[in-house]
A and B are shown apart, each in its own frame.
Chain A
Amino acid sequence: MTKRFYIAIFKINARRCWHLHGPKAGIHGWGAYIPIYRLPLSEIAKVWGWSPGQYEGLDVVEKAVASSDEDSVTMAYEAALNAIKRARIEPKKIGAIFFGTESKPYAVKPSATIIGEALGITPYTMASDMEFACRAGSEGLRSLIGMVDSGLIEFGLAIGSDTAQANPGDVLEFTAASGAAAFVIGPSENASAIVEDSVTFVTDTPDFWRRATQPYPLHGEGFTGEPAYFYHIENAVRALLEKTGLKPGDFDYAIFHQPNGKFPVKVGKGLGFTIDQMKDGLVTPMIGNTYNASALMGLAKVLDKARPGEKILLAPFGSGAGSDAYYIRVTDSIEERKALAPSVGDYLDRKVLIDYGMYSKARSIIHVIK
């Protein structure tokens, strides 16, 4: 046997074993929150003079609207509370709180400490607010895997929460919605689902951004598609599949970042996934794009029904741009956790329709002298 032969064998085995030796952690608890109010997209079209054809293609019916006493912090609180209930741990065991959002109430002042204090997690904990457009919550999730596996912390809390803003009259207004999702990450033992492997793929691609003092973002229209959303998700997912040796058909669920009802289905099909695999992870058609809670809420919705042994692909995306891809495997432990907190379905069912006037008041887009 030649030296080259042994090196080749070593490399093949190393690649196959790569994910077995990489850091691993589990999702102990998951939770979501959706505000009660919904604005039908037809209301937006009526006010701003859009024709049906200009928005029906988004495949979104209504969007969730946070009330005037809600923001990304209050929504994160409830999603995290639900996750902690399912994790069945004392809040003080959480050693890191990563709050991913692009609608921070303060430019400077951590929201993570407000949530940490309100949930009884503080003071011995890491805490910070993260930004990477819609994938900040996911960056938090990925970071926690390493922190838990290395023993730096016992449990961590990753949250994605947004009260997404869009310039009134802009096409983005149809889908910019409010919601939150949260996950308690801990050791693989006793977890409801194990994050077996994950990959992140980022480039400097400015498809969508908001300058520091501006209230609303700008975007590159078509540029947000192929060069951004599709390119990064496809690359992240393909890298994950190669790394793990899995194929699209091996997964029971495929959940993608969902800026509207069309894109996730398109990117999924392009990668070889079926609508059957994708349907349970879709939330945007019912409530709009909750930005940092978009893919993550899809994950929460899937976990609400997933069965032991099932495999989940999760691919969040954030503008600027980047995508993650996760391979998550459900364990036996999941069944006893489901009923411990409201499900995404419970929040979807809890809805009250409002008109553009109430929406304007709730989201403070009417100019008033205070």
Chain B
Amino acid sequence: MAMDLSISRFWRKKVSLYRLYGSRCKACGKVHYPPKKACPYCGSRDLELIELPKKGKLLSYTTIYAVPEGARLKSPIYFGLIDLGVTKVVAELTDVVDKNSLKEGIEVEAVLRKTHEDRDSGLIYYLLKFRPAMVHR
């Protein structure tokens, strides 16, 4: 079959990848994303799913030219470390006009975009990326 990517592996993670659901530890209060089975900080298994804020601040970023197989057509890839307040996440950045639009401290917001197309007949995978926040009158 002409597919390289797993269907179920992505599908299991929908709630994190589509809706930015993370996990909050009821024991120590810390939040992590995506959800693990125990709190990576204190080890407690008393966790609850929470929807993370979709807006945050860019803490660090990079423009990637050494792209992996399959991503040549999308080069350069922008990648960033984002502070959402309750926790930090890493995500691909999109709608980046050029590398000069990326600066520490700018506001970024989550948008749904394509991440992979599995050849010509496999599935299309979508997830949330972040873009420099729109100015909204």
Contacts and interface: CB of A to CB of B under 8 A. Distances in A.
Interface of A: 36, 67-71, 73-74, 77-78, 105-106, 114, 117-118, 120, 339, 341-343, 345-347, 349-350, 352, 361, 364, 368, 370
A70 B126 CA distance: 9
Contacts of B14: 117
B67 to A, nearest CB: 13
Contacts of B19: 118, 120
A34 to B, nearest CB: 11
B112 interface: yes
B137 A343 contact: yes
B73 A361 contact: yes
Contact of A73 (B119, B126, B135): B126
18 contacts: A36-B95, A36-B97, A68-B74, A69-B94, A69-B113, A74-B111, A77-B111, A77-B112, A78-B112, A114-B126, A118-B18, A120-B19, A343-B136, A343-B137, A346-B135, A347-B134, A370-B70, A370-B120
Contacts of A74: 111-114, 126
Contacts of B57: none
B62 interface: no
Given A36-B95, A78-B112, A346-B136, 5 more contacts: A69-B114, A69-B129, A74-B113, A77-B112, A118-B126
Contacts of B94: 67, 69
Nearest to A342: B136
Contacts of A73: 112, 124, 126
A345 B137 CA distance: 9
A120 B124 CA distance: 19
A68 B112 contact: no
Contacts of B44: none
Give the interface size class of chain B.
20 to 34
B115 interface: yes
Contacts of A67: 94-95, 113
Interface centre among B112, B119, B120, B129 (most CB of A within 10 A): B112
B84 to A, nearest CB: 17
Interface in B40-88: 70, 73-74
A70 to B, nearest CB: 6
B134 A71 contact: no
B62 to A, nearest CB: 17
B11 to A, nearest CB: 10
B74 A105 contact: no
B89 to A, nearest CB: 17
A349 B112 CA distance: 21
A70 B73 contact: no
Nearest to A120: B19
Interface centre among A69, A71, A105 (most CB of B within 10 A): A69
Nearest to A78: B111
A38 to B, nearest CB: 12
A78 B136 CA distance: 14
B126 A364 contact: no
Contacts of A350: 134-135
